[in-house]
Amino acid sequence: MTILITGGAGFIGSNFALDWLAQSDESIVNLDKLTYAGNLETLAGLRGDARHTFVKGDIGDAELVKSVLAKHQPRAIVNFAAESHVDRSIHSPEDFIQTNIVGTFRLLEVARAFWSHLEGNVKKGFRFLHVSTDEVYGSLTAGEPAFGETHRYEPNSPYSASKAASDHLVRAYHHTYGLPVLTTNCSNNYGPYHFPEKLIPLMIVNALAGKSLPVYGDGLQVRDWLYVKDHCSAIRRVLEAGRVGEVYNVGGWNEKPNIEIVHTVCALLDELRPKADGKPYKEQITTVKDRPGHDRRYAIDASKLESELGWRPAETFESGIRKTVKWYLANPDWVANVQSGAYRDWVSRQYDLVDATQG
């Protein structure tokens, strides 16, 4: 038996592949375009492992996806592939439309054709699991209840709008054609192999490099943080037992304002890697211009996943963030490797104008 994952060289997909193969002998075919966010170094531990086949390619390349499906006959597709960074979507939305909307559409089309020719139990058991985000639901005010699965869609950034469109296509392919889909909408992930353009890894990496820690606006925007390995276990559970056509929200029950996250990272670094001059890392925090259209608060109500499928996150924020900081301290080579020329260009474009101290 085999599953096809897309985007499996990115942050969540690679954690998913590593965890899957640590617990199962079912093989994985991993289709990834290797954009700036895809990194084969992350999958180095799977080199030579016959259970992992890497294919470099685009989910929007219908001929390629068709041939991968024909060759490997997966029993399921888990679609992680996406452009995923809100700030990049504000600067250049085009790639988000191409991959998140057109790419998902092409993948669905090819999956539908493949599935429609399957027979019997193989056809019955086939699944298309689409990995999406809580950002499709828009922004909450302070007192509002957390997002449930039936919350209206109100995406505010080009990223979340493109993910919302992909969710609608996935839904329509079930409703219209009967494709056996599952959708998960997840809150902010953190953990090992997270690209240092996102809040938590950027703060760790900048702090260690003696650079400033750029907090957007007042730093009081709230996100609901989920340790990536908990997200992976939720996806495995939904794939195994989720009801076809259903949506499951995945969250960590960890709502925190950004500024608190940054202070927590600084305090852990003070403890685990104190600065030679004895000064606290929090002195590196700087306030920078806010993100345009910045969503104020996300919060996930993951109780459907718990009551239907018995899933709960294993990590608290305290245990997960400690593991994460330790992982970055132990893996400077991985960090150096992903900080390529393209990464440096992005950082200077995103922060230099607003923060002259940013290196």
Identify what 232 binds: ligand NAD, ligand TYD, none; CB under 5 to 8 Å per kind: none
Min dist. Cβ of residue 359 to ligand TYD (A):
14
Q: Contact 136/187 with Cβ under 8 angstroms?
A: no
Identify what 99 binds: ligand NAD, ligand TYD, none; CB under 5 to 8 Å per kind: ligand NAD
Identify what 86 binds: ligand NAD, ligand TYD, none; CB under 5 to 8 Å per kind: ligand TYD
Nearer of residues 95 and 355 to ligand NAD, judged by Cβ: 95
Q: Contact 227/114 with Cβ under 8 angstroms?
A: no
- Per-residue contact track with ligand TYD, 181 to 210, x per CB under 6 A? -------x---------xx--x--------
Query: What DSSP element (H or E) covers 79?
Result: strand 76-79
Contact status: 151 vs ligand TYD (CB under 6 A) = no
Q: Contact 15/193 with Cβ under 8 angstroms?
A: yes
The residue count of the chain comes to 359
Identify what 32 binds: ligand TYD, ligand NAD, none; CB under 5 to 8 Å per kind: ligand NAD
Contact status: 320 vs ligand NAD (CB under 6 A) = no
Q: How many CA atoms lie within 13 A of 45 on its CB side?
A: 11
Contact status: 226 vs ligand TYD (CB under 6 A) = no
Binding residues for ligand NAD, rule CB under 6 A, total: 31
Distance, in Å, from the CA atom of 199 to the CA atom of 219, rounded to the nearest integer, reads 11
Min dist. Cβ of residue 231 to ligand NAD (A):
8
Min dist. Cβ of residue 139 to ligand NAD (A):
15
Contact status: 10 vs ligand NAD (CB under 6 A) = yes
Listed residue (325, 349, 351) closest to 214, CA to CA: 351
Distance, in Å, from the CA atom of 59 to the CA atom of 157, rounded to the nearest integer, reads 22
Residues 86-115 that bind ligand NAD (CB under 6 A): 99, 103
Distance, in Å, from the CA atom of 286 to the CA atom of 273, rounded to the nearest integer, reads 21
Contact status: 16 vs ligand NAD (CB under 6 A) = no
Listed residue (345, 225, 226, 214) closest to 286, CA to CA: 214
Distance, in Å, from the CA atom of 330 to the CA atom of 124, rounded to the nearest integer, reads 44
Listed residue (201, 214, 194) closest to 358, CA to CA: 214
When binding is defined by CB under 6 A, the residue of 221, 264, 284, 358 that contacts ligand TYD is 221
Residues 252-281 that bind ligand TYD (CB under 6 A): 258
Q: Contact 312/227 with Cβ under 8 angstroms?
A: no
Identify what 214 binds: ligand NAD, ligand TYD, none; CB under 5 to 8 Å per kind: ligand TYD
Residue 224 is among the residues annotated as catalytic for this protein: no
Which residues carry out catalysis? 134-135, 159
